[in-house]
Amino acid sequence: MSRFKAVIFDLDGVITDTAHYHYLAWKQLAESQGVHFDHAFNENLKGIDRMGSLDLILASAPRSYTPEEKLALADTKNLHYQELISTMSSNDLLPGAVEALDAVRRAGLRIGLASVSKNAFTVLGRLGITDKFDYVVDAATIARSKPDPEIFLRAAQELGVAPADCLGVEDAVAGVAAIKAAGMFALGIGHPFVLTEADVVITSLQQFNLSAY
Ligand code: BG6
Ligand code: MG
């Protein structure tokens, strides 16, 4: 039994470890522009859309960039990222991810995906789990990146469920903030010291227990 009517999952870093591929692609791009890049800085980029992430990186660059140069750099990063994800398969599902999705389904709740990644449909396809979602938000139709609640509110609306009846699952600080701003219950995947706004934090979906929240 669950007090919720829907569960809305983030993708990168929750269902699969693409967060690591984003890290590698951004690191190469940042260093090509003379910007130091490490895991601590990358934490600020999780859940932030492509151009927003690029702006945060280039804020530390020694020079300024034209809008055309920025678009070219974003394309370079994305091509590298797409190369990294091109060999993904169901082997890249994080432990507990399929079990969590199946548990939500068995409990009769609706299932949504709220990722700001424009590669989300490709990644879901490579993982072989597209059919497990009732609704996947198309990031190309979202105007404001997390921490804005827009993407979670859109998912709830399309699933036909009130935000207060939704459980959101996120690994990013910005993502947890988006869930809370949407008026939902936030389940964090990661460390409580980092995801301080989350209602509950677990280390991975292996610990997912719908009836406990
Ligand atoms: C988010 C990731 O899910 O998607 C970010 O956490 C990433 O790291 C963002 O930048 C945008 O992804 P994409 O695939 O559209 O460049
Ligand atoms: Mg994420």
pLDDT in tens, the chain (213 residues): 799 999 999 999 999 999 899 999 999 999 999 999 999 999 899 999 999 999 999 999 999 999 999 999 999 999 999 999 999 999 999 999 999 999 999 999 999 999 999 999 999 999 999 999 999 999 999 999 999 999 999 999 999 999 999 999 999 999 999 999 999 999 999 999 999 999 999 999 999 999 999
Q: Say if ligand 1 is within 6 A of residue 170 CB.
A: no
> Which pLDDT score, from 0 to 100, does residue 73 have?
98
Assess whether 121 and 58 both reside in one domain.
no
Asked whether residue 40 is domain-assigned, the answer is: yes
Annotated binding-site ranges: 10-12, 26, 45-50, 53, 77, 115-119, 146, 170-171
**What rounded mean pLDDT belongs to the chain?**
97
Question: Active-site residue 138, yes or no?
Answer: no
Split into its structural domains, the chain has a count of: 2
Q: Say if ligand 1 is within 6 A of residue 145 CB.
A: no
- DSSP secondary structure letter of residue 112: E
Ligand with the closest atom to the CA of 21 = 1
Distance CA 104, CA 110 (A): 8
Assess whether 45 and 111 both reside in one domain.
no
Among the candidates 40, 69, 86, a domain finishes at 86
Asked whether residue 62 is domain-assigned, the answer is: yes
> Which pLDDT score, from 0 to 100, does residue 201 have?
98
Quote the Cα angle for 161-103-207, to 5°.
110
Pair 109, 6: CB distance under 8 Å: yes
Exposed, middle or buried by CB within 10 Å (0-12, 13-18, 19+), for 161? buried
Pair 56, 167: CB distance under 8 Å: no
Q: Is 162 left (phi over 0), alpha (psi -120 to 50) or beta?
A: beta
Query: Which CATH number does the domain housing residue 79 bear?
Result: 1.10.150.240
Annotated binding-site ranges for Mg(2+): 10, 12, 170-171
Name the residue range of residue 48's domain.
Answer: 19-86
Assess whether 130 and 76 both reside in one domain.
no
Ligand with the closest atom to the CA of 24 = 1
Which residues are close to ligand 2, an ion, with C-beta < 5 A?
Answer: 10, 12-13, 171-172
- Dihedral angle at the C-alpha atoms of 97, 46, 78, 9, nearest 10 degrees? 30
Among the candidates 27, 61, 86, a domain finishes at 86
Residue found by looking up tokens 């677990």 in the block: 202
| Three-state SS letters, 34-55 | CCCCCHHHHHCCCCCCHHHHHH
**Which of 53, 77, 83, 123 to mutate to test ligand 1, by most ligand atoms within 8 A of the CB atom?**
53
Question: Active-site residue 199, yes or no?
Answer: no
Asked whether residue 133 is domain-assigned, the answer is: yes
> Which pLDDT score, from 0 to 100, does residue 1 have?
76
pTM: 0.95
